[in-house]
Amino acid sequence: MLAINNLSKSFGRNVVLKDFTYHFKPKTIYALMGANGSGKTTLFNIISGFLQADSGTILFYEKNITYFPPHSIVKLGLSRTFQDMRLVPTLNVYDNVLLALKNKHSEQLINAFIPQKKDRYETKIKNILQQSHLYEQKDVKASEISYGQQKLLNLAVAMANDFDVLLLDEPVAGVQPEFREQILALIKSFDKTVIVIEHNPLFLEKLTDTILFLDGGKIIAEGSYASISVNKQVQEAYL
Ligand SMILES: Nc1ncnc2c1ncn2[C@@H]1O[C@H](COP(=O)(O)OP(=O)(O)OP(=O)(O)O)[C@@H](O)[C@H]1O
Ligand SMILES: [Mg+2]
C-alpha cells in the first residue's frame, strides 16, 4: 500500500538516504530504528511531502505521490506527527483537534470557530478525545496539560485525519510510564499501518515484531527486537 523505491536524499555532501526501498503492508505496525542522524525524520519528511527527494518514487495505493504537497498527501489518508510537537499552545485540547479536522477539510481557519460549524464535528472530536484519554482535559489549554498528555494530544491531532497510514516520530520520548502504556494501547488499537520512530527496547518489544533498522541510507536489518539486537551491522551502527 505504501511502496518506496530507490529513494535518495542528500543535504549538500551529507548523503542521508541512498536507494531506500521498502514496501509497507496494510494494517501492520512497523518500528523504525537507527542512530541519531541516520535519516529517520528525513524519511518521514519526504513521505509526508515536507521535503523533496532527490530521486526515487513513493507510491501510495499505486498513486505516485512523490512530489505531492503535504495537504494532498494528508487528504489521501497518510497522517503524521512531528518530533517537536506542533500543537497550538494557546488553544484548548478540543480546539487543537478541531483545527486539524478543519484543515483536512480545507475550510478557512476562521470557520473552525463559528459555532454552527463546530457542532458538526462534535461527535468525531469527542470520540478521538475519549480514545486518547483526553476528554476530561478538553477545555484545558494545550500548554497547561502534562507532557505525556501533550504527546497524546499530538496523536489525537493526527487522528483527526482519517488515515490508512500513520507516521509517528518518537511518540513516547520523555513520556512517563503511565502515558507510555496509554500511547502503546492507542497505537495498537488503530488496526492501520503505523510506522513508529522509536529507540526504547522495552517499548519496541511490546509494540511490534517488525522493526526496520536504518543505516547508511537504507534498511540493513528487519525483524523482532531480539533478532535485530544481535545483528552485527546493527551493533556497529549503534556504537
Ligand atoms: N533540512 C535539513 N537541512 C540540512 N540537513 C538536514 C536537514 N534535515 C536533516 N538534515 C541532516 O540529515 C541527517 C539526518 O537527520 P534526521 O533528522 O533525518 O535524523 P534522525 O534519524 O531523525 O535523527 P534523530 O534520532 O536525532 O531524530 C542529519 O545529519 C541532519 O543534520
Ligand atoms: Mg528524528
Q: Which atom of ligand 1 is nearest to the CA of 199?
A: 25
Q: Which mutation among 7, 10, 16 tests ligand 1's pocket best, with the greatest number of atoms within 8 A of CB?
A: 16
- Which pLDDT does position 44 carry in this prediction? 97
- Which amino acid residue places its CA nearest to atom 9 of ligand 1? 42
Question: All 3 cell numbers of residue 191?
Answer: 488496526
The ligand placed nearest to the CA atom of residue 37 is 1
CB 165 within 8 A of CB 1: yes
Whether the CB-CB separation of 133 and 178 falls below 8 Å is answered with: no
* Contact partners, residue 108, CB within 8 Å, separation at least 6: none
Atom 24 of ligand 1: nearest residue by CA position: 36
Under DSSP, the state recorded for 39 is S
In the numeric block, the cell 517488525 is attached to 210
Which residues are near ligand 1 (CB < 6 Å)?
11, 14, 16, 34, 36-42, 83
Report how far ligand 1's centroid is from the alpha carbon of 194 (Å): 21
pLDDT of amino acid 151: 94
Pocket test for ligand 1, best of 9, 10, 11, 47 (most atoms within 8 A of CB): 11
pTM of the model: 0.92
Q: How far is the CA of 169 from the centre of ligand 2 (A)?
A: 7
Q: How far is the CA of 126 from the centre of ligand 2 (A)?
A: 31
Q: Distances in Å between the alpha carbon of 15 and those of 12, 122, 161, 172, 202? A: 8, 46, 32, 28, 31
- Side-chain-side CA neighbours of residue 29 (13 Å): 20
Q: Which CATH class is domain 2-238?
A: alpha beta
- The pLDDT score that the predictor gives to residue 102 is 77
One pLDDT digit (tens) per residue for the chain, 239 residues? 999 999 999 999 999 999 999 999 999 999 999 999 999 999 999 999 999 999 999 999 989 999 999 989 999 999 999 877 789 999 999 999 998 887 766 555 556 666 666 677 889 999 999 999 999 999 999 999 999 999 999 999 999 988 999 999 999 999 999 999 999 999 999 999 999 999 998 999 999 999 999 999 999 999 999 999 999 999 998 87
| Ligand 1 atom 7 nearest Cα | 11
pLDDT at 186: 95
Distance (Å) from CA 152 to ligand 2 centroid: 18
Q: Give CA torsion, residues 74, 78, 84, 89, to 10 deg.
A: 50
**How much distance in Å is there from the Cα of 43 to the middle of ligand 2?**
9
pLDDT value for 197: 97
